[in-house]
Chains A and B, each alone.
Chain A
Amino acid sequence: MKPVYLDNNATTAVAPEVLEAMLPFLHERYGNPSSIHAFGGDVGRDVERARERVAALLGAESPTEILFTSCGTEADSTAILSALEAYPERRQLITTRVEHPAVLSLARHLERKGYEVVRVGVDRDGLLDLVELRAALSTRTALVSAMWANNETGVVFPVEDLARMAHDAGALFHTDAVQAVGKLPLDMRRSTIDMLSLSGHKLHAPKGIGALYVRRGTKFRPFLIGGHQERNRRGGTENVPGIVALGTAAELAHRHVAEEQTSVRTLRDRLENGILERIPDAIVNGHRERRLPNTSNVSFEFVEGEAILLLMDQAGICASSGSACTSGSLEPSHVLRAMGVPFTYAHGSIRFSLSRYTTTEEIDRVLAEMPPVIARLREISPFSRAHPVPDGPATCPTACRTPKD
């Protein structure tokens, strides 16, 4: 049986229309868009059409505000480094504790290079501490970079408010909107956000293509320095098949974005409520309202996430976990720790992320499979509601409950 794929925040299936649109550019239409001859020049027109489609999805004023990159991470790096270089007298970067590593790792790198970095915290629901942000802003702030929606919990930040706050301090505002684009309606014409990152493979385009929106008039310094491509803002021959694919994916996402709030949300709620009804000692991580319509992050107490995923995988269900054992580190997800989710729950967190291709049958299959999976592991576990506090094992000192960046 086909696996039930509920890991769309990790990556998505390439839409059939997208694959069809990009194939000619891997085959007979291999021209270089920079070439003078028609064979290449025609390809350039397809690149520009893709740019228009991405601009339309974002509600951008002009397609020239779209800059194609190789991925979301490149878009993030470009935006952050550009702002710091454009405003050299401002040496501070403000971001949040729950950003994607694409931003957090760069922030740590910049810190080591002498920049001041402030990481604003979140509350138990994953909502940003606006008081802390306001207190951190000053004339030293070059950029505020905060994600639009969190990849693990789906929690949405009030980015328009954040942009205004940044501007009041004379700083730029960038948002990593990799998880938001295609899931939330965007209208950059009515926004004041300066820069926005997106990634193709999160919205049914292939991996290897991303984009950065740079509002017209924003001071910009290129990250990849090379040829004249992308109006001298990003050197390197264009990834034409990827760009065309992203254009088609953007067009599809634009057409379907309303479904996210209706059918996708309905299925997500069916899944989430169904799990909470069927499985005791489970909680939802993240604010129930202010979040993406496709994401549900549920913690199951007394059991560990990797073990859950392995049994789910055996049952043909794909999801992901914020547990230590799956993150490749020894501590649970930095997002859940920043939210102060108790360790007893953090290790057993499972993220379900749907797409517009998810069906009711699939959700019902998951609802049938999950209770025995959790029950089986709880049978093996030495902990239970009757024995919530182990009467022997060591307890970790409080130090390990404090999240690091």
Chain B
Amino acid sequence: MAWDYSEKLKDHFFHPRNVGALEDADGKGEVGSIACGDALTFYIKTDPQTHRITQATFKTFGCGSAIASASALTELVLGKTIEEALRITNQDIADYLGGIPQEKMHCSVMGREALEAAVADMRGEQRAPEEHDDGAIVCHCFGVTDKKIERAIRENNLRTVDQVTNYTKAGGGCGACQAEIEAILNRIVEEQRRKPAPRPAAAGARMTQLRKIALVQETIEHEVRPVLQKDGGDIELIDIEGDTVRVALVGHCAGCMAAGFTTGWIQDKMRELVSEGITVVVEPPGATEAAS
């Protein structure tokens, strides 16, 4: 299958940065295995005074996007403190490369894991070599634990089993664990739904524009998006002007017959959870590209 790789990703594959083992590394993280089809060893070295990462190198067994992800990660962590580096998400790696095909997102997840393993090694934390965490194995084909699956779901807002497979490989072998993944997904979606919704600002409290933006974002994240994604769609926040919230519907939602109904429902949610005066305006498809 020919993948649609971005120019930046190709550049990092054809000219990977910082390849090699680092003999005097402070931390060395190893994840994946040759049997699973990709593996990454990540090395970091920090400055004892500033605690910033001064050197980061890698060795990868894997496809084009696995090599490019590791290369990108070395550039991302250089100059950062360990705390800053640990805040790098797999999405940051994907973004840095100008995007990674969905089916290959597990390459970026592997990068993040290797970084964490290297930091753990640096801090002298003991980790069983054959386990990334102490969760229970869900996918026996690729040795993926429930903890790893949960984390990928939460961090990347995953909604389907296919997405979980793309990000973690779980379920991509014999497929026997797909029902179990589905159950984890349902549990997390349910949890997020039950989570105390952001309440409207208490009567009389001042609703600053900043607070309004935060509430709109929270409402989209916890109330609107999960529902739309269940139907294969999604929503993007474009802008907030006064009480007007401009959004775009993507995927199945865009141009859908029920779009008008959806808009009304989103507006009701906003009025309930943000402010009574909110008006939701749905921009025509394509408006997002122009706006971003």
By a beta-carbon cutoff of 8 Å, the part of chain A in contact with chain B is 302-307, 310-311, 314, 323-332, 343-344, 347, 379-383, 390-397, 399-402, 404
19 further A-B contacts with Cβ under 8 Å, apart from A397-B141, A400-B142, are A304-B61, A307-B64, A307-B67, A310-B13, A327-B1, A328-B1, A328-B103, A330-B141, A382-B61, A383-B34, A392-B28, A393-B32, A393-B34, A393-B41, A394-B31, A394-B129, A396-B142, A397-B137, A400-B141
**A302 in contact with B34 (CB, 8 Å):** yes
Given known A379-B19, A380-B16, contact A399–B34 (CB-CB < 8 A): no
A307 to B60, CA, bound (A): 11
Q: Tell which of B31, B130, B165, B174 touches A395, judged by Cβ atoms closer than 8 Å.
A: B130
Which 10 pairs across A and B sit closest by C-beta, in order of nearness? A392-B30, A330-B172, A325-B63, A306-B63, A382-B59, A396-B35, A400-B141, A343-B35, A328-B1, A382-B41
- B residues less than 8 Å from A380 (CB atoms): 16, 19, 59-61, 67
The yes or no answer to B179 lying at the interface (CB within 8 A) is: no
Given known A302-B34, A307-B67, A395-B130, contact A383–B39 (CB-CB < 8 A): yes
A396 to B172, CA, bound (A): 13
The yes or no answer to B85 lying at the interface (CB within 8 A) is: no
Q: Tell which of B62, B104, B141 touches A396, judged by Cβ atoms closer than 8 Å.
A: B141
**A393 in contact with B33 (CB, 8 Å):** yes
- A residues less than 8 Å from B41 (CB atoms): 382, 392-393
- B residues less than 8 Å from A393 (CB atoms): 30-34, 39, 41, 129
The yes or no answer to B45 lying at the interface (CB within 8 A) is: no
**Minimum CB–CB distance for A361 against chain B, Å:** 26
Specify the chain A residue showing the minimal Cβ separation from B170: A330
**Minimum CB–CB distance for B145 against chain A, Å:** 10
**B33 in contact with A394 (CB, 8 Å):** yes
A391 to B59, CA, bound (A): 14
A382 to B132, CA, bound (A): 18
Specify the chain B residue showing the minimal Cβ separation from A324: B37
A331 to B19, CA, bound (A): 26
- A residues less than 8 Å from B36 (CB atoms): 394, 396, 400
Give residues 97-143 of B contacting A (CB, 8 Å).
103-104, 129-132, 137, 140-143
**B140 in contact with A399 (CB, 8 Å):** yes
**A400 in contact with B30 (CB, 8 Å):** no
- A residues less than 8 Å from B285 (CB atoms): none
**A390 in contact with B34 (CB, 8 Å):** yes
Give residues 131-177 of B contacting A (CB, 8 Å).
131-132, 137, 140-143, 165, 169, 172-174
**B1 in contact with A343 (CB, 8 Å):** no
A102 to B165, CA, bound (A): 25
Q: Tell which of B14, B104, B172 touches A314, judged by Cβ atoms closer than 8 Å.
A: B14
Specify the chain B residue showing the minimal Cβ separation from A342: B35
**Minimum CB–CB distance for B60 against chain A, Å:** 6
**B34 in contact with A343 (CB, 8 Å):** yes
Given known A393-B31, A400-B173, contact A306–B64 (CB-CB < 8 A): yes
**Minimum CB–CB distance for A297 against chain B, Å:** 18
**Minimum CB–CB distance for B18 against chain A, Å:** 11
**A332 in contact with B37 (CB, 8 Å):** yes
The yes or no answer to B189 lying at the interface (CB within 8 A) is: no
- B residues less than 8 Å from A302 (CB atoms): 34, 61
A326 to B66, CA, bound (A): 13
A400 to B33, CA, bound (A): 12
A332 to B66, CA, bound (A): 16
**A323 in contact with B59 (CB, 8 Å):** no
**Minimum CB–CB distance for B283 against chain A, Å:** 34
- A residues less than 8 Å from B75 (CB atoms): none
A396 to B36, CA, bound (A): 6
- B residues less than 8 Å from A311 (CB atoms): 14
- A residues less than 8 Å from B129 (CB atoms): 391-394
**Minimum CB–CB distance for A157 against chain B, Å:** 26
> Which residue among A310, A330, A393 has the maximum number of chain B CB atoms within 10 Å of its CB?
A393
Give residues 52-92 of B contacting A (CB, 8 Å).
59-64, 66-67
**B33 in contact with A382 (CB, 8 Å):** no
> Which residue among A324, A328, A400 has the maximum number of chain B CB atoms within 10 Å of its CB?
A400
**B1 in contact with A304 (CB, 8 Å):** no
Specify the chain A residue showing the minimal Cβ separation from B19: A380
- A residues less than 8 Å from B103 (CB atoms): 328
Given known A324-B37, A382-B40, A396-B33, contact A304–B141 (CB-CB < 8 A): no
- A residues less than 8 Å from B137 (CB atoms): 397
A380 to B42, CA, bound (A): 12
Specify the chain B residue showing the minimal Cβ separation from A404: B174
**Minimum CB–CB distance for A385 against chain B, Å:** 13
The yes or no answer to B38 lying at the interface (CB within 8 A) is: yes
Given known A302-B34, A306-B64, A399-B140, contact A390–B39 (CB-CB < 8 A): yes
A324 to B67, CA, bound (A): 15
**Minimum CB–CB distance for A224 against chain B, Å:** 29
Given known A306-B64, A381-B59, A383-B61, contact A325–B132 (CB-CB < 8 A): no
Q: List 11 A-B contacts (CB under 8 A).
A: A304-B63, A306-B64, A307-B64, A310-B64, A325-B63, A382-B30, A383-B34, A392-B41, A393-B30, A396-B35, A399-B140
A402 to B174, CA, bound (A): 9
**A307 in contact with B62 (CB, 8 Å):** yes
**A347 in contact with B32 (CB, 8 Å):** no
A254 to B35, CA, bound (A): 43
**A395 in contact with B33 (CB, 8 Å):** yes
**B132 in contact with A331 (CB, 8 Å):** no
Specify the chain A residue showing the minimal Cβ separation from B176: A399
- A residues less than 8 Å from B33 (CB atoms): 390, 393-396
Q: Tell which of B13, B37, B60, B132 touches A394, judged by Cβ atoms closer than 8 Å.
A: B132
